Structure 1
């Protein structure tokens, strides 16, 4: 998938809300210390997540795939006083890093970090959610969707990241590529689901916003 020219991308960043200092630090620390730092949501997507949360006004959010916590902190900025986020990260080696950055911000207190496999953790969590953000293992996107759908309130939202998967969704399929296979199955599942409204935004690696009817 063709990326924006650097000058145009910088123009966009110069004309949206600034990235808070604590997120700038989180981004620097991620790029300095982590493999695959490009998995971080980043400035533009982070401000978009915050804006969507302002519009949706959720009280309870589920996030599948924390990575280093950037997206969770962006959504937490928009939560009401008693709002909470349950965020699930399978890589236990990231836990100390994530908790240090959460504890350094006021909004981090609204985030409940859970280390484990989302497919096993979610059935153990209580209640329902107003919004879910799916950004975990791409091969399991259909399973995540089916697992959480009944736990999303009517009128609630599901947002899925990486749905264009670097343009691989329109290239000849490699049967060995289970990540792309999961994204393709997920996109087809959403397209055919009459229980929801949906739209794909070509922001970064693709961003689907789904509203449960």
Structure 2
């Protein structure tokens, strides 16, 4: 058993996930993204992104866990976006219910755009409805499908890349993004969930070590690691923020 599991805040998080999964198995609870969408429609204000984000935070804290980026890491993400300006292009890998897409798009200017890739069709469909409810359908485009197939069809150069899908795909997909020419000088890559707890708890799909080795030993990237918390908890997590440049 990994020692990282026994830190009190980490253990509290693990137990919550264990019991929620148990309840899902026993009571056959409704699909999570559909349930979140219904909660938002009942509790948030239409065309008010902040109200929708708050409803999702409330749901995740008090009802069922959501694998959103959350408000604390969302603050870190928003800081990086502000550095780049309002009229930027953002690529997100892993949309889930649309939380991060809404967070990123809500303050973009007229030329700002978020392109979000999501492999799960149900997640993509419900996220699209939530984004429409938020009044951001003109700012966010969801493309449903596997990232390794979609990246090769993209033509934009992006100012910011958010990696928030399976962690063992981070390196593969960043290399594909590089080869496709989707980065520009100064592009920021924001990689969520690169801490040891996720790697140990999730298993292979949560392992980001090869990604971290890649960006940290690549002279095209200047990196910073920020220790933070897993969404809606005090369990440990980390984000890696890498700036792309041909001048390093």
Superposition deviation, residue 20 in structure 1: 2.2
Distance 2:161 2:139 in 1: 15
Contact 2:155 2:182 in 1 (8 A): no
Pair 1:212–1:94, CA change in 2 (3 A): same
The answer to whether residue 106 in structure 2 is matched with residue 81 in structure 1 is no
What is the deviation of 1:26? 3.0
What do you get for the CA RMSD once the two structures are aligned? 2.7
Which sits farther off after the overlay, 126-135 or 160-169? 160-169
Equivalent residues in 2 for 1:13-162, closer than 5 Å: 20-28=50-58, 37-57=65-85, 59-149=88-178, 150-162=181-193
Check 1:103–1:45 CA distance in 2 against 1; reply closer, same or farther (3 A cut).
same
Match of 2:244 in 1: 212
Q: Give the paired residue count.
A: 192
Distance (whole Å) between structure 2 residues aligned to residue 201 and residue 46 of structure 1: 13
Distance 1:98 1:32 in 2: 20
Structure 1 runs not aligned, ≥5 long:
7-18
Q: Which has the higher contact order (CA 8 A, sep 6+)?
A: 2
Deviation at 1:117, TM superposition (A): 0.3
Q: Are the aligned partners of 2:220 and 2:244 in contact in 1 as well (CA < 8 Å)?
A: yes
CA contact 2:116–2:141 (8 Å) conserved in 1: yes
SS at match of 1:121: helix
Q: TM-score, normalised by structure 2?
A: 0.69
CA 113–33 in structure 1, closer or farther in 2 if over 3 Å, else same: farther
Between Structure 1 and Structure 2, whose CA radius of gyration is higher? 2
Deviation at 1:91, TM superposition (A): 0.6
Classify 1:25/1:108 alpha carbon distance in 2 versus 1 (closer, same or farther; 3 Å).
Answer: farther
Distance change in 2, residues 1:26/1:59 (3 Å): same
- Structure 1 residues 121-140: Cα deviation after superposition (integer angstroms, max 9, x where no partner): 11112221111001111121
